[in-house]
Amino acid sequence: TVLVESSSGNLGVALSAVAAGRGIPFVCVTDTRCNPATIRAMRAMGAEVEVVADPHPDGGLLGARKERVRRLCRDNPHYLWLNQYENPANWIAHYEGTAPGIGKRFPG
C-alpha cells in the first residue's frame, strides 16, 4: 500500500514522518504555493512529492491537487487516499482533541 494525500504543507510533513517511521511509502500532492523548504523536508523523509502548477477550472490549485490524487489512485490499485477533506476521522479528531486543547489554554 502507498499512502497518498493532497496537502499545502503541514499535513504532508506530518504524514511523511509517520510513513517513514512505519516504512510505508507516501506520495504528497502539493502545489506551487508550498514552501520549497517544506517540499525538501518531505523528500528528506522519503516522501515522493508531486507539485501541480495548473489550477483546476472549477477548483483552483486545491481542485488540481485533488484531481491528481484521484488519477493516481485510479491508475495505481495499491494507492490509498487518506482524503482529509471527506474523512470523518479528520474533523472528529479536531472536535475531540484539538478544540478542547485550545479551550483549556484559552479559558473564558
Provide the residue ranges of all domains of the chain, joining segments of one domain with +.
Answer: 2-105
Q: What are the start-end ranges of the H helices in 6-59?
A: 10-22, 36-44
pTM as predicted: 0.88
- Which tens digit of pLDDT belongs to each residue from 31-63? 999 999 999 999 999 999 999 999 999 999 999
Task: Look at residue 70 and tell me whether its pLDDT is greater than 80.
Answer: yes
Which of 90 and 1 is assigned the larger pLDDT? 1
Count CB atoms within 10 A of the CB of residue 26. 23
How far, in Å, CA of 101 to CA of 68, rounded? 34
What is the second-level CATH architecture of the domain 2-105? 3-Layer(aba) Sandwich (3.40)
pLDDT band at residue 9 under the 50/70/90 scheme: very high
The alpha carbons of the chain give a radius of gyration, in whole angstroms, of 15
